[in-house]
Amino acid sequence: MGALSKALLLFAMNWLDAQLTILWVRMNVATEGNGLMASVLNLGEAPFLGVKLAVGAFAGYILYRFAEVPMARRGMQVVLGLYLVLMGVHAATGFSALGWEAPATVLSYFVNLPSAFVAFFS
């Protein structure tokens, strides 16, 4: 996958994250985890979406523009990986909002697995 495709994927996942965050917050299913962005969301959906998309577009552009720099390539991989995990969290939130608790239970299991593993050897 080329640098431009990755940058566009980053922007698309950022946009989807913003839309789902607005949906979950307005349905009182979840809260915005970022305090600064929660303040912007309190101003309205348009300012929230504008700031979120501006930050995502800026990050995508910078990582695309400097794609030949190893740190930018690794940064793109990290950011895309984090957004992939975040999409899983959004999916679990959606299932929970619809009354299906199984995905949230599975997600909770995997999130708590590292601490359980450490506790096992303590």
Return the closest-CA partner of residue 15 out of 38, 64, 48, 40. Answer: 48
Is 90 exceeded by the pLDDT of residue 21?
yes
Whether 80 contacts 9, CB under 8 Å: yes
The confidence band for 118, taking pLDDT boundaries of 50, 70 and 90, is confident
pTM score, whole prediction:
0.77
Element housing 70 (H / E): helix 70-97
**Sequence-separated (6 or more) residues with CB below 8 Å from residue 6:** 63, 64, 67, 76, 80
- The overall average pLDDT reported for the chain is 89
Is 80 exceeded by the pLDDT of residue 99?
no
Average pLDDT of span 26-41: 92
Q: How many CB atoms within 10 Å of residue 2? A: 9
The confidence band for 44, taking pLDDT boundaries of 50, 70 and 90, is very high
Is 80 exceeded by the pLDDT of residue 122?
no
Amino acid 103: pLDDT = 66
